[in-house]
């Protein structure tokens, strides 16, 4: 069952073929076998998971099950979850057990979905390779010498390895889409404000957005239905009527809303220098596939990717420097052991508790916000941000969805870019503008490079067009099988299961054949 989708697991539960306890045990078994190698989880607590699974089975027995009751899920360690160690990938929070649930967590609990564990991530979600985690890097299940992407690398890796059928992620500049692309899974970053940020540890508040990561677009739709919705505890949560994001994924498939009439925008800026050959080819092939069924379209102009990276690396650190000032050793988390006075305690706590990348961002952030440089950097970046949003608004007059690559390269080797922050920052060159504009974006598998590493196709929609994007992605997945390919680790787990079944056969045959 390592490769079962949420949809399939929900069907097995609904027809009584399995229970939530059985399912959860199955995933926990895989975590025990594979996590020591992958490092995808920071915290696993089988007792807690199984208690939640038993509760879900009781809800089902009482006839009160919802669509996903009993299906387990993993959560990025950026979400506060009551009673769970919640580290955000940092030494600063290595001992922080959350006293409350983030909105996203409480939504999944209310849906009856047991938590399989908290997934590894770049420290405070700053990174594109998961190498900035205090808990060590995550390995990519397609090639364990390579990074899974970041910052939601643990979430992407656990889904790609079959250690969880789905996971939550967060995306400030690409952290759902880029690891989804590098691990060959499907991920969705919703329109800013659709999912509440309450209890999600803040990196850059005007950009952060939570979203689902799973094997298919259909699963992402089901998960977004659980996550989305107004929450008065987040002042940027949008008060909108409840939407069914899976409404255009109906079965039978010939009833699905057709692609005919869909206008596809193809920004030339997304196909320029820096895009590697295999990725360019796979993305072009995917686009060709769309053209045959639905729509050719306009060459929309899009914000120059390089400019969005520049604006982002002023705005995101500025907001981070403010958000991270709360980690001072006084209220919670790490405190230095040896200090002379209060100032010394602050300084040592922050010097010892934060890693190098987080410190770099705090330094940049305080610099661009300082009196002498505010106008030169911060204000300029905000102006650029407005222009980027305007460029997208102009593009959406001529198209419904923009297609392009998610990341310029496939998964790179561990350590390859670790000492070159600018190269690392360029990993998000195609995703960052989407956050600056607050738009929804998705990544879905669209091919493999010569080394057999997955490639991601990015879909960018207009505000609140998640249902349509999911519909477009779902149709692509009905017509292709890239998303069905199994990573070597998942294949191994599938074979392990098969072997298990094989080994139990003699039991059944014993009676008649043994003399």
From the candidates 20, 128, 175, 300, give the one annotated as an active-site residue.
175
Q: Where are the alpha helices (DSSP H) in 370-452?
A: 380-395, 421-425, 432-437
Q: Tell me, yes or no, if 175 is annotated catalytic.
A: yes
For ligand GLN, the closer CB: 169 or 221:
169
Select from 177, 189, 401 the least CA-distant residue to 286: 401
Beta-carbon contacts of residue 377 (< 8 Å; ≥ 6 apart): 314, 367, 368
For ligand GLN, the closer CB: 316 or 453:
316
Question: Are 441 and 460 spatial neighbours (Cβ–Cβ below 8 Å)?
Answer: yes
> Least CB distance from residue 316 to ligand GLN, whole Å?
5
> Least CB distance from residue 101 to ligand GLN, whole Å?
21
Q: Which residues bind ligand GLN (CB under 6 A)?
A: 125-128, 151, 171-175, 203, 316, 428
Question: Are 463 and 299 spatial neighbours (Cβ–Cβ below 8 Å)?
Answer: no
> Least CB distance from residue 463 to ligand GLN, whole Å?
19
CA separation for the pair 490, 290 (Å, rounded): 29
For ligand GLN, the closer CB: 42 or 316:
316
For ligand GLN, the closer CB: 290 or 327:
327
For ligand GLN, the closer CB: 112 or 456:
456
From the candidates 7, 19, 76, 417, give the one annotated as an active-site residue.
76
Task: Based on DSSP, count helices (H) and strands (E) in the chain, helices before strands.
Answer: 16, 10
> Least CB distance from residue 165 to ligand GLN, whole Å?
23
> Least CB distance from residue 88 to ligand GLN, whole Å?
11
From the candidates 151, 196, 237, 308, give the one annotated as an active-site residue.
151
Backbone angles phi, psi at 41, to 5 degrees: -110, 140
> Least CB distance from residue 377 to ligand GLN, whole Å?
16
CA separation for the pair 350, 341 (Å, rounded): 14
Measured from the Cβ of residue 259, the count of other Cβ atoms closer than 10 Å reads 18
Question: Are 128 and 411 spatial neighbours (Cβ–Cβ below 8 Å)?
Answer: no
Question: Are 23 and 70 spatial neighbours (Cβ–Cβ below 8 Å)?
Answer: yes
From the centroid of its chain, how far is CA 315?
Answer: 21
For ligand GLN, the closer CB: 316 or 402:
316
Please name the residue that has the structure tokens 């949003």: 389
Q: Tell me, yes or no, if 321 is annotated catalytic.
A: no
Question: Are 399 and 392 spatial neighbours (Cβ–Cβ below 8 Å)?
Answer: no
CA separation for the pair 27, 48 (Å, rounded): 14
> Least CB distance from residue 122 to ligand GLN, whole Å?
7
Supply the DSSP string of 432-477, one letter for each residue.
HHHHHHT--EEEEEEEE-TTS-EEEEEEEE-TT-HHHHHHHHHHHH
CA separation for the pair 423, 10 (Å, rounded): 41
Q: Tell me, yes or no, if 151 is annotated catalytic.
A: yes
For ligand GLN, the closer CB: 34 or 170:
170
Sign of CA dihedral 66, 180, 489, 47: negative
> Least CB distance from residue 23 to ligand GLN, whole Å?
30
For ligand GLN, the closer CB: 52 or 428:
428
Active site residues: 76, 151, 175
């Amino acid at each position: 069952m390592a490769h079962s989708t949420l949809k399939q697991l929900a069907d097995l539960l609904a027809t009584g073929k399995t229970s939530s306890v059985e399912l959860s045990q199955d995933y926990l078994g895989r975590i025990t076998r594979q996590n020591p190698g992958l490092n995808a989880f920071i915290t696993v607590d089988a007792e807690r998971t199984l208690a939640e699974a038993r509760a879900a089975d009781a809800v089902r027995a009482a006839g009160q099950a919802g669509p996903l009751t009993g299906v387990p899920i993993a959560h990025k360690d950026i979400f506060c979850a009551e009673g769970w160690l919640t580290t955000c990938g940092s030494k600063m929070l290595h001992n922080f057990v959350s006293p409350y649930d983030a909105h996203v967590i409480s939504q999944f609990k209310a849906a009856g979905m047991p938590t399989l564990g908290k997934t590894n991530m770049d420290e405070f979600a700053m990174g594109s390779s998961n190498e900035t985690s205090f808990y060590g890097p995550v390995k990519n299940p397609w090639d364990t010498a390579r990074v899974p992407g970041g910052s939601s690398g643990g979430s992407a890796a656990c889904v790609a390895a079959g250690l969880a059928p789905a996971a939550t992620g967060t995306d400030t500049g690409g952290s759902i889409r880029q690891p989804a692309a590098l691990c060959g899974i499907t991920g969705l970053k919703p329109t800013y404000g659709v999912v509440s940020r309450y209890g999600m540890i803040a990196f850059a508040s005007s950009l952060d957005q939570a979203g689902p990561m799973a094997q298919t677009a259909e699963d992402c739709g089901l998960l977004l239905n659980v996550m989305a919705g107004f929450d008065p505890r987040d002042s940027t949560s949008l008060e909108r009527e409840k939407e069914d994001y899976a409404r255009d994924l109906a079965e039978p498939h010939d009833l699905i809303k057709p692609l005919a009439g869909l206008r596809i925008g193809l920004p030339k800026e997304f196909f320029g220098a820096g895009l590697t050959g295999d990725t360019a080819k796979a993305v072009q092939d995917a686009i060709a596939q769309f053209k045959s069924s639905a729509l050719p379209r306009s060459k929309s102009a899009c914000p120059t990717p390089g400019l969005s990276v520049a604006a982002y690396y002023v705005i995101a650190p500025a907001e981070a420097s403010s958000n991270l000032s709360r980690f001072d050793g006084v209220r919670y988390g790490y405190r230095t052991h040896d200090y002379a006075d209060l100032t010394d305690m602050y300084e040592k706590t922050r010097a010892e508790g934060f890693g190098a990348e987080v410190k770099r961002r705090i330094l940049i952030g305080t610099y661009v916000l300082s009196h002498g440089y505010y106008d030169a950097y911060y204000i300029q970046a905000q102006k650029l941000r407005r222009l980027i949003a305007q460029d997208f608004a102009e593009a959406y007059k001529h198209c419904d969805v923009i297609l392009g690559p998610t990341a310029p390269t496939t998964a790179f080797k561990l350590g390859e870019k670790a000492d070159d922050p600018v190269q690392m920052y360029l990993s998000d060159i195609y995703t960052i503008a989407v956050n600056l504009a607050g738009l929804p974006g998705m990544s879905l598998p669209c091919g493999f490079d010569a080394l057999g590493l997955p490639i991601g196709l990015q879909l960018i929609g207009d505000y609140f067009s998640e249902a349509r994007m999911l519909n477009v992605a779902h149709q692509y997945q009905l017509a292709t099988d890239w998303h069905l390919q199994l990573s070597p680790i998942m294949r191994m787990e599938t074979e392990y299961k098969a072997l298990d079944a094989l080994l139990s056969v003699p039991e059944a045959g014993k009676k008649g054949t043994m003399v």
